[in-house]
Amino acid sequence: MSETSPKLRAELAGIPTYKPGKPAAAGGPVAYKLSSNENPYPPLPGVLESVTGAALSFNRYPDMACTGLMNELADRFGVPLTHLATGTGSVGVAQQLIQSTAGPGDEVIYAWRSFEAYPIITQISGATSVQVPLTSGEVHDLDAMAAAITDRTRLIFVCNPNNPTGTAVRRAELERFLDRVPSDVLVVLDEAYREFVRDVDVPDGVEFYRERPNVCVLRTFSKAYGLAGLRVGFAIAHEPVAAALRKTAVPFGVSQLAQDAAVASLRAEDELLGRVGTLVCERNRVVESLRGQGWTVPDTQANFVWLRLGERTVDFAAACERAGVVVRPFPGEGVRVTIGEDEANDIFLKVTEGFRKEL
Ligand SMILES: Cc1ncc(COP(=O)(O)O)c(C=O)c1O
């Protein structure tokens, strides 16, 4: 038997592993999961019905072209079918965008800290990450990001609102930034949390896509629409980017269950967006309570809040867990806490109150 193991690509060495939000402990008195920016509401009955209906034929492959969903999205956004691409969650589409644009020697720019998949999918492609620190106000530093562009830059992520800080960039600054990006560099506006935005100055990225062929908008059904477990996201982009997404897609990657649930969700949008409205009210209550307790909390436009706790991050997360809520610590930096059920938010606020007194 040979002593050597199969040769793997050198780029894979040292790739950070994606850390999913920790699940809530089973069997405890109460355990709420506020660690994955999920939607706390269970599926709507009509959406559930569409999934159970699709389940009756899961011995068959799904519609590879996602025809029903693509038609629905084309109507909803007023874009041609050729400008749409679906994928296994928006993270799947983000990975295809990098595969389509960047390889060894190329650079991908994004803010840091931001969505933790960016460094992973960049490294898998063999491209180099260029991480531009957030400002002291926890917002994208778009001037520094523009200054970081080189002739090797192929793609720039702007996560708006940003995961994990919840902060958002506004129309005028984004426009100024886009004006500085060469037209052969792809800008991906990752709008996974778009439906939670209430600041009217935070633009809908689709506005920018319409005017600029190098802008691509990334959206997901995982957050506001509550389909995280079904894995479906999509991009709106001009040709040739959308065509490249179709080429790099895993064949049959979006299940029929996911496609049918996404269509049913778009049709039940009023009800789902009503739930989003309730979560936004809860978010505002949580932020105001935290500020009332004396915490500095960046303005969040997403379904989570960010507390920069530095060295106390891990202790704080452990205190939350003991109290019955699981949050998302980034050791040495801070915690991200998803807005969940009212009772869960109350438990979190009790922990912050106690912790504040100890500071
Ligand atoms: C900014 C951002 N983009 C994309 C995603 C990926 O979501 P999904 O792959 O479930 O669509 C997430 C998920 O947490 C996110 O926070």
* Structure confidence by residue, pLDDT tens digits, 158-216: 999 999 999 999 999 999 999 999 999 999 999 999 999 999 999 999 999 999 999 99
Taking residues 119-144, report their average pLDDT: 97
In angstroms, the CA 236 to CA 74 distance is: 9
Q: Is the dihedral of CA 65, 18, 9, 5 positive or negative?
A: negative
Whole-angstrom CA distances from 350 to 163, 175, 289, 322, 357 are 24, 41, 10, 12, 11
Encoded tokens for 204: 């809908």
Closest atom of ligand 1 to 232 CA is 11
Q: Residue 1 — very low, low, confident or very high, per pLDDT cuts 50/70/90?
A: low
Amino acid making up residue 158: V
Q: Which of 163, 193, 195 to mutate to test the pocket of ligand 1 (most atoms within 8 A of CB)?
A: 163
Closest atom of ligand 1 to 88 CA is 9
pLDDT at 246: 94
**Nearest C-alpha neighbor of 93 from the set 202, 249, 241:** 249
Q: CB–CB of 326/25 below 8 Å?
A: yes
SS3 state of residue 86: strand
Q: Worst-scoring range by mean pLDDT, 23-32, 290-299, 329-338? A: 23-32
Measure 91 CA to ligand 1 centroid, in angstroms.
6
The β-bridge partners of 107 are: 128, 153
Q: CB–CB of 192/218 below 8 Å?
A: yes
Stated pTM of the model: 0.96
Residue given tokens 């949390």 in the structure block: 193
Ligand 1 within 6 A of 111 CB? no
**What is the average pLDDT score of the chain?**
96
In angstroms, the CA 102 to CA 221 distance is: 26
SS3 state of residue 236: strand
Residue 28 has pLDDT above 80, yes or no: no
Ligand 1 within 6 A of 228 CB? yes
Ligand 1 within 6 A of 302 CB? no
In angstroms, the CA 32 to CA 183 distance is: 45
Ligand 1 within 6 A of 95 CB? no
Ligand 1 within 6 A of 230 CB? no
Measure 218 CA to ligand 1 centroid, in angstroms.
9
pLDDT at 30: 63
Ligand 1 within 6 A of 164 CB? no
**Nearest C-alpha neighbor of 86 from the set 338, 202, 259, 212:** 259
Q: Residue 313 — very low, low, confident or very high, per pLDDT cuts 50/70/90?
A: very high
Ligand 1 within 6 A of 233 CB? yes
Q: Residue 29 — very low, low, confident or very high, per pLDDT cuts 50/70/90?
A: low
Instruction: Give the helix/strand (H/E) hosting 186.
Output: strand 186-190
Q: What is the DSSP string of 296-359?
A: ------SSEEEE--GGGHHHHHHHHHHHTEE-EEETTTEEEEE---HHHHHHHHHHHHHHHHH-
pLDDT at 356: 87
User: For residue 23, what is the DSSP state?
Assistant: P
